[in-house]
A and B are shown apart, each in its own frame.
Chain A
Amino acid sequence: MADFNAEKPMIQVKNLAKSFGPKRAVDGVSFNVEIGEVLGFLGPNGAGKSTTMRMITGFIPPTEGTVVVGGFDILNNPIQVKKIIGYLPENAPAYADMSVHSFLDFVAELRGLRGEEKKKAVSRVIEMCFLESVVNQSIDTLSKGFRHRTCFAQSIIHDPPVLVLDEPTDGLDPNQKHEVRTLIKRMGEKKAIIFSTHILEEVESACTRAIIIDRGKIVANGTPNELKRMSELAGTVILKVRNIPAEEVVQKVKELSCVKRASIISTDGGPACLRVYPQQNITNGELARAVGELAIQQQWRVEELHTDEGRLDEVFRNITLPDTTQEVSR
């Protein structure tokens, strides 16, 4: 693993495009992934995530553009590229007529492992993916989650420097989802990983960077926090106050110079709960401080006061639903 050029990104994707007949499934996608990065791939159904991954792993040839992995071009050096990639295809395909053990053994052999080395690799992934209880079971009798884990185990059997995982947590129970996320995060320290998902919390918990792709194009690219900050609600302050009518609180808050507007989220008998929107060019935390000081001065009984960091799902919706009335941050 050490012999890869450290200066160059492990995965370089340039102007990648794929047409299926008249349809542009992927339309000019470019990005890099370095060792130590975990890149989350987000996007609505049919956005082109799987198609992009299939081109990176060399399953389908691109219509345009290049993929370079570990310094090797996928078109000129497919075998070299495939050697350093571990791939979990969508829906976790596996040979139904094999047992878990013989399947992993088969893959290990295709990966060039033999003898003792192969044995070790197989038992390592069986342990890592919690497959001990099903090693001798035939794959067609496995539950969906176990089949998924088997295919995931297959992808890491040769401890590759690059991992491409298409929805690795699909079909797993919450505990296993957590395990796999932790595993991805841990492996990400020494590998370049791309994984796609529809679960946004996963991006926050496991990724160092995320890309949102829509209709074949990249529409956002940044750290999870950067993406969250694109939310309209990012930087707003939530305030919960007891024993004062909500309208009165709104009135007072609006008088602050750094407040653009404030809206009531809920009252219904309980504490007044409102969201305060900052003026532009307000530094982080300033709004919350100002509101806090106001509360002290007014002697409100504050139950909650915090700055909203924004929510990925909201950003995701805004970016990938451009037809709605919501603001589009393209």
Chain B
Amino acid sequence: MNGLSTFISNIWTITKRELGGYFTSPVAYVFIVMFLLLTGLFTFMIGSILERGEASLFWFFYWHPWLYLILVPAIGMGVWAEERRLGTIELLLTMPITTWQAIVGKFIAAWIFLGAALFLTFPVVLTVNYLGNPDNGVILCAYIGSFLLGGSYLAISTMTSAMTRNQVVSLIISVVICLFLILAGFPPITDLIQNYVPQIIVDIVASFSVIPHFDGFKRGILDLRDIIFFLSIIVFGLFATSLIIRNLRAGH
């Protein structure tokens, strides 16, 4: 096998194993049910789509950054922590694969799982199409944004997962980081701090936030800069994971 095909097949082997792990564990199904219940709750109760009679999923996606805040770290928390707790990390990293392949393979599996959960919200799309005439292009765009958003949270969660062998600790750290990524650009908060610090600082901090970058997707605007923003969070998270694992092995 040449370099690239080995690279891909190694990643795929890892991804397959991880996916098998997700879909054989009852926790995963609990997760999916929770995810669907909560999206339904936020959309129909709090977002009250039905009462508004709007044929759009704006309120459905509006809550995604918050919904993911707990749910995505819950998927990611075990990715490396479990590997460390069981000691299988020693097995995995002495196989003829690179650490990077293991990191990417695991991340992709978790992301596919998240994507599957997201896909299962399609009844919402059917509902609005039944109610009226929504712009399905906008909806698709928002789904893409939501998937990227979840991916960035996930990269951060896998990073914190490598920091510890305790899943709960990993969960808490990643929730805190993701919360920062939301709040830094969440209008009620930015409006509040605007009164105390110069606008430029508010803008800089807000530029790190996922909220303004997700906004465009929600409105159906596919902006390359927003895509790059989310992809760079993912790359950063995975890269940080590799550094953490390297340190871990060196035993510092």
- A residues sitting closer than 8 Å to B (CB atoms) are 18, 20-21, 54, 57-61, 79-80, 82-83, 85, 87, 89-91, 93-98, 102, 106-107, 109-112, 151, 154
Contacts and interface: CB of A to CB of B under 8 A. Distances in A.
Given A61-B250, A95-B86, A96-B86, 15 more contacts: A59-B93, A60-B249, A60-B251, A85-B94, A87-B91, A89-B90, A89-B91, A93-B91, A94-B86, A95-B88, A109-B13, A110-B10, A110-B97, A111-B95, A111-B96
A157 B235 CA distance: 34
28 contacts: A21-B252, A61-B250, A82-B94, A82-B96, A83-B96, A85-B94, A89-B91, A89-B94, A93-B88, A94-B86, A94-B91, A95-B17, A95-B88, A97-B25, A98-B17, A106-B13, A107-B91, A107-B95, A109-B13, A110-B10, A110-B13, A110-B14, A110-B97, A111-B96, A112-B6, A112-B96, A151-B91, A154-B91
Contact of A87 (B94, B250, B251, B252): B94
Contact of A95 (B10, B21, B98, B252): B21
Nearest to A25: B251
Contacts of A80: 96
Contacts of A83: 96
A235 to B, nearest CB: 43
B68 to A, nearest CB: 24
A106 B17 contact: yes
B137 interface: no
A164 to B, nearest CB: 9
A67 B93 CA distance: 17
Nearest to A20: B251
Interface residues of B, number: 25
B87 interface: yes
A73 to B, nearest CB: 15
Interface of B: 1, 6, 10, 13-14, 17, 20-21, 24-25, 86-88, 90-91, 93-98, 249-252
Contacts of A109: 13
Contact of A97 (B10, B13, B24): B24
B21 A59 contact: no
B88 A94 contact: yes
A60 B24 contact: no
B98 A93 contact: no
Across the A-B interface, the 9 shortest Cβ-Cβ residue pairs: A93-B87, A82-B96, A83-B96, A89-B90, A110-B95, A93-B88, A57-B94, A109-B13, A87-B94
Nearest to A86: B94
Contacts of B21: 95, 97-98
A82 B1 CA distance: 17
Nearest to A96: B86
A80 B98 CA distance: 11
A39 to B, nearest CB: 18
A90 B93 CA distance: 14
A110 B96 contact: yes
Contacts of B97: 79, 110
B17 A91 contact: no
A88 to B, nearest CB: 9
Contact of B90 (A20, A59, A95): A59
Contacts of B24: 97
Contacts of A58: 93-94
B233 to A, nearest CB: 29
